[in-house]
C-alpha cells in the first residue's frame, strides 16, 4: 500500500500559467493515516509577477512577505519540491481540489523553473486522488455520512473552510496551506469512517491503468460529476471510444439517455451530435483527472446488453474517436505566451539530460547549458531565469531588455491579458478598501512597478 501525501498551495493568484505558489504544505502519512513527516515552506515572488491583492488578502500574506530575502526564490523552491517528491516516491498525492488547481500550478512551477520532471506526481509509481471529488461522490451516494453546510446562497457548500468545521474540524486558520492540509485529512478520514464501502471504491480510482482496463472491458460503470451550482449527481454508462489526439480523453455513453441499438448504429454526424447535445448523451471525460469511476456492483441485464452492443460496434468507436479529437481546436503556437506552451511537445533525451545538469551547475555554467538546449522553450525560460537570479551575467543591453519586458507585461497595450497588470492592482486595492493596510500595500506595489522602469 502506498503512503499518502496530502498537500496544498497558497498562490499569488488563480492562473496556473501566470501566477505561482507562495506556500507549499504537505503531511505524509502511511496507509493508516499515521503521520510520517510534515513540511511547510514559503518562497519569494518571481520578478515578473505582480501578486493579486485579493489572493494575498485571502491567504493572509502581507505583500512585503513575498519579497522576504530570507525565503528561497521560486527556482530554489521548485528544486526543493522536486527533491521532496523523489524522496517519498511512490506515493499517492491528494488534496482538496488539487486536480483542477494545485496540480496545474505545480506543473507550471516545474516547467517555468526548468525542473526535469514536470509531471513528477504522476511518474515513478506516484498516483493521485482529489478529496473534493470524493466529497462530491459521498454527497451523491451516501449523504448521511457527512454534515452538509449551506453557503451564502443557501445551497450546499462544498468549500473546505465551511465543510470541515461543519463536520467537527476546528478550522481556525483557513486558507493557510498547512491548516488546509489538516482539514483535508480530516475530511478524508470522515469519508473512510462514514462511508467505508464507497471509500474503498474511490480509493481504487487512483490507479489510472486499472480504471482504463475496466472501462475498455465494457463493464457498466458509474461516475459522480457536478456541473455549475447544481448538486453532484452520479451518471451510469459505459466506455465508447478514445480521442485520436489525446489518449486520456474518452467517450462515456449514458445508459439513461441512449438506446443501445440506435447508438451502436449511429452515423458519424449523429455521434457528433450526441457528444455536443445537451444533455450530453455521450460525455467527454478524462482519465488523468482522478475522476470517480466505479464499477456498478449489480448491473442489470439491460446495462450488460447495452455495453455488449457498444463493444461490437467498431464504427461507433471510430466516430467517437474522431469527434473527440476534433472537438477542441488548438490555438496557433504563434499566439501563445511561453507559459502557455507547456504542452507543446515533450523534450528530447539530450535536453532532459541537460535539465538534470542544470540543477547542480553554477549560474555561470547554466548560461552554457541554456545555449545548448534544442527546445526553444527551454532556451527562453532558461535565459529568463538567468536574468532573474544572476543578472550580473547579462550585458547592459540584456538587462535593459529585462526591464522592458517587465514594463510591457505590467502595463500592456492590449486591453485584456491573462496575467495581473498594474491596472488590475489599483482596481483591486480600491475594492479591498478598509480590509487592508492601504498605505503599506500601495507603497509595496508602487515600488515594485516603478522598479521595472528604473
Residues 272 and 421 in one domain: no
Q: What is the pLDDT along the chain (454 residues), one digit of tens a residue?
A: 789 999 999 999 999 999 999 999 999 999 999 999 999 999 999 999 999 999 999 999 999 999 999 999 999 999 999 999 999 999 999 999 999 999 999 999 999 999 999 999 999 999 999 999 999 999 999 999 999 999 999 999 999 999 999 999 987 777 789 999 999 999 999 999 999 999 999 999 999 999 999 999 999 999 999 998 899 999 999 999 999 999 999 999 999 999 999 999 999 999 999 999 889 999 999 999 999 999 999 999 999 999 999 999 999 999 999 999 987 666 667 789 999 999 999 999 999 999 999 999 999 999 999 999 999 999 999 999 999 999 999 888 988 888 889 888 998 776 789 999 999 999 999 999 999 999 999 999 999 998 876 6
CB of 306 within 8 A of CB of 255? Answer: yes
Q: Which strands, in side-by-side order, build the sheet including 21-29?
A: 35-42, 21-29, 3-11, 91-95, 127-130
Helix (H, G, I), strand (E, B), or coil: what is residue 362? coil
Q: Which residue, among 262, 255, 144, has the nearest Cα to 195 in the 3D structure?
A: 144
CB of 148 within 8 A of CB of 120? Answer: no
141 domain residue, yes or no: yes
pLDDT of residue 303: 98
Residues 174 and 222 in one domain: no
pLDDT of residue 326: 86
Q: Give 94's strand partners.
A: 6, 129
Residues 38 and 123 in one domain: yes
Long-range Cβ pairs for the range 224-228 (8 Å, 24+): 224/133, 224/136, 224/137, 224/140, 224/141, 224/292, 225/136, 225/283, 225/291, 226/136, 226/158
Domain count, the chain: 3
Residues 249 and 140 in one domain: no
pLDDT of residue 172: 73
Residues 108 and 252 in one domain: no
Residues 146 and 34 in one domain: yes
Last residue of a domain, one of 279, 300, 327: 327
361 domain residue, yes or no: no
CA–CA separation, 357 and 374 (whole Å): 15
CA–CA separation, 450 and 211 (whole Å): 53
364 domain residue, yes or no: no
pLDDT of residue 452: 74
Last residue of a domain, one of 309, 327, 345: 327
Residues 287 and 412 in one domain: no
Residues 140 and 213 in one domain: no
CA–CA separation, 454 and 163 (whole Å): 48
356 domain residue, yes or no: no
Secondary structure, 3-state, 77-88: HHHHHHHHHHHH
Residues 202 and 253 in one domain: no
CB of 356 within 8 A of CB of 350? Answer: no
Residues 236 and 161 in one domain: no
The grid coordinates listed for 293 are 469511476
Residues 22 and 73 in one domain: yes
DSSP per-residue letters across 222-284: EEEE--TTSPPEEEEEEEEEE-SS-TTEEEEEETTT--HHHHHT--HHHHHHHHHSSS-SEEE
46 domain residue, yes or no: yes
365 domain residue, yes or no: no
Residues 214 and 137 in one domain: no
| CATH of residue 64 | 3.30.420.10
157 domain residue, yes or no: yes
DSSP state of 214: H
97 domain residue, yes or no: yes
What is the torsional sign of CA 111, 117, 123, 127? negative
Helix (H, G, I), strand (E, B), or coil: what is residue 413? coil
CA–CA separation, 142 and 147 (whole Å): 11
The grid coordinates listed for 403 are 526591464
Last residue of a domain, one of 283, 309, 327: 327
Show the domain range for 212.
207-327
| CATH of residue 304 | 3.30.1520.20
Amino acid at each position: 500500500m502506498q503512503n499518502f501525501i496530502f498537500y496544498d498551495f497558497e498562490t499569488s493568484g488563480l492562473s496556473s500559467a501566470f501566477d505561482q505558489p507562495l506556500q507549499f504544505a504537505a503531511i505524509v502519512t502511511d496507509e493508516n493515516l499515521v503521520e510520517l513527516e510534515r513540511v511547510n515552506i514559503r518562497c519569494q515572488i518571481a520578478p515578473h509577477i505582480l501578486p493579486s491583492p485579493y489572493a494575498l488578502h485571502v491567504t493572509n500574506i502581507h505583500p512585503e512577505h513575498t519579497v522576504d530575502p530570507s525565503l528561497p526564490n521560486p527556482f530554489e523552491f521548485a528544486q526543493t519540491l522536486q527533491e521532496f517528491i523523489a524522496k517519498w516516491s511512490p506515493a499517492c498525492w491528494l488534496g482538496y481540489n488539487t486536480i483542477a488547481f494545485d496540480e496545474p500550478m505545480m506543473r507550471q512551477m516545474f516547467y517555468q523553473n526548468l525542473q526535469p520532471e514536470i509531471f513528477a506526481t504522476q511518474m515513478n509509481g506516484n498516483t493521485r486522488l482529489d478529496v473534493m471529488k470524493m466529497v462530491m461522490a459521498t454527497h451523491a451516494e451516501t449523504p448521511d455520512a457527512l454534515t452538509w453546510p449551506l453557503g451564502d446562497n443557501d445551497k450546499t457548500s462544498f468549500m473546505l473552510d465551511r465543510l470541515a468545521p461543519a463536520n467537527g474540524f476546528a478550522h481556525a486558520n483557513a486558507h493557510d496551506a498547512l491548516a488546509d492540509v489538516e482539514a483535508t485529512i480530516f475530511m478524508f478520514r470522515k469519508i473512510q469512517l462514514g462511508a467505508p464501502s464507497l471509500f474503498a471504491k474511490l480509493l481504487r480510482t487512483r490507479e489510472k491503468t486499472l480504471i482504463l482496463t475496466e472501462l475498455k472491458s465494457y463493464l457498466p460503470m458509474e461516475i459522480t460529476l457536478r456541473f455549475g451550482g447544481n448538486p453532484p449527481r452520479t451518471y451510469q454508462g459505459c466506455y465508447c471510444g478514445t480521442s485520436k489526439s489525446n489518449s486520456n480523453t474518452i467517450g462515456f455513453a449514458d445508459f439513461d439517455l441512449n438506446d443501445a441499438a440506435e447508438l451502436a448504429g449511429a452515423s458519424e454526424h449523429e455521434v457528433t451530435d450526441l457528444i455536443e447535445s445537451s444533455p450530453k448523451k455521450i460525455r467527454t471525460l478524462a482519465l488523468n483527472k482522478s475522476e470517480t469511476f466505479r464499477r456498478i456492483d449489480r448491473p442489470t441485464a439491460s446495462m450488460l446488453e447495452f455495453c455488449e452492443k457498444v463493444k461490437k460496434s467498431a464504427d461507433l468507436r471510430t466516430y467517437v474517436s474522431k469527434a473527440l479529437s476534433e472537438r477542441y481546436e488548438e490555438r496557433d503556437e504563434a499566439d501563445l505566451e511561453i507559459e502557455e506552451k507547456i504542452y507543446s511537445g515533450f523534450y528530447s533525451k539530450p535536453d532532459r539530460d541537460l535539465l538534470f545538469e542544470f540543477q547542480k551547475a553554477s549560474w555561470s555554467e547554466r548560461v552554457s547549458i541554456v545555449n545548448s538546449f534544442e527546445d526553444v522553450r527551454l532556451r527562453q525560460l532558461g535565459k529568463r531565469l538567468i536574468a532573474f537570479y544572476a543578472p550580473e551575467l547579462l550585458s547592459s543591453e540584456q538587462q535593459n531588455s529585462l526591464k522592458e519586458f517587465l514594463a510591457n507585461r505590467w502595463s500592456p497595450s492590449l486591453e485584456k491579458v491573462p496575467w495581473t497588470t498594474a491596472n488590475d492592482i489599483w482596481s483591486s486595492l480600491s475594492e479591498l478598501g478598509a480590509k487592508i493596510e492601504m498605505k503599506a500595500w500601495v507603497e509595496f506595489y508602487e515600488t515594485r512597478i516603478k522598479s521595472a522602469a528604473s
